[in-house]
Amino acid sequence: MCTMRTWPHLESSAISLPPLISFPNLSNLYGTNKEIQRRRTTPYGSFSVTLQPLPPPPPPLTFTATFSSMADTHSRFPFDFIFFGRSADAERDCLDRSFTEIVIVRHGETEWNAEKRIQGHLDIDLNDVGRQQAVAVAERLSGESKISAIYSSDLKRALETAETIASRCGGLQVIQDPNLRERHLGDLQGIVYGAAPTVKTKAYEALQSRGRDVEIPGGGESLNQLYKRCTDSLQTIGSKHRGERVVVVTHGGVIRALHQRASSGKGHRAGRILNVSVNVLHLSDPDKWVIKSWGDVSHLDGAAYLDSGFGGDRTSG
């Protein structure tokens, strides 16, 4: 129902009008090319409103209202009308339904990040700095366009970051997806990166290999295996949430693989993936990925973070 309200101050105080004048049956203004007219008559005058359909997605509705006075001694005074329609926030939250906006966030810092210790699938908590970073990115996202869903790796460092975001963005339930986990790094997991060449030589050589089908000894994944599972997961999320804005919290190695998919053939480099950096992709049919922004950590101006971005470079972790 569309509702119109008279301006609170009239030049004449000799009469008063009902504060609300309602025009029923105007809720379906789209999908028709018919012009809709409504006229309302009161003891003080007649009001007519003409509405013309707007193509989707709907911007704020625009109405033109006119007042035709009746012949009486108190009929000459101006009227202004205010239409209470779509708010600025609603307009901000309206995305093009041809794509899904996916905000990809790396988890906050852990003690193993700070020690440059390789994590992989090992389940390490955020440290105090990481929790501070999670709050900072959550505050940022809560002030931006509406988030429809939040997905996360099921590893604690990502999940806690995602839950912090969810608590400040409408209390959404975090959807856990194991396919968003970091790359499994086999025998390297738990090793300080600097010691890996001598402690786990074969695993380290596999990690450094340019071959995309090289698996890391000890049950580790190849780059192709990582790429397949995480890009398939993101494509599924994108297809499910057309026209919506979604947050995905994951890991450095995964984010690099997603960047590779989005920039395929363009020669762009992902660079270092810092903790709680924000990276925005638009996914549309048929399987088109577009990078809208990358590596934004402006929300960390007041928070400590690792400049090295360990775990977010080619070595993963």
Whether residue 230 contacts residue 250, with contact meaning beta carbons closer than 8 Å, is answered with yes
Cα torsion for 255, 259, 261, 267, to the nearest 10°?
-150
Residue 275 in marked binding region: no
User: Which candidate, 213, 209, 255, 211, places its Cα nearest to that of 231?
Assistant: 255
Residue 39 in marked binding region: no
Residue 106 in marked binding region: yes
Residue 113 in marked binding region: yes
CA–CA gap between residue 310 and residue 260 (Å, rounded):
19
User: Which candidate, 314, 311, 271, places its Cα nearest to that of 295?
Assistant: 271
Pairing mode of beta strands 2-6, 20-23: antiparallel
Whether residue 157 contacts residue 254, with contact meaning beta carbons closer than 8 Å, is answered with no
Residue 32 in marked binding region: no
User: Which candidate, 206, 279, 283, 185, places its Cα nearest to that of 242?
Assistant: 283
Whether residue 260 contacts residue 227, with contact meaning beta carbons closer than 8 Å, is answered with yes
How many angstroms separate the first and last alpha carbons of the chain? 55
Residue 157 in marked binding region: yes
Residue 269 in marked binding region: no
User: Which candidate, 182, 217, 183, places its Cα nearest to that of 199?
Assistant: 217
Q: Looking up tokens 């912090």, which residue turns up? A: 164
Give the containing element (helix H, strand E) for 225: helix 223-240
Residues classed as catalytic:
107, 182
Cite the annotated binding site by residue number.
Answer: 106-113, 157
Cite the annotated binding site for substrate by residue number.
Answer: 106-113, 157
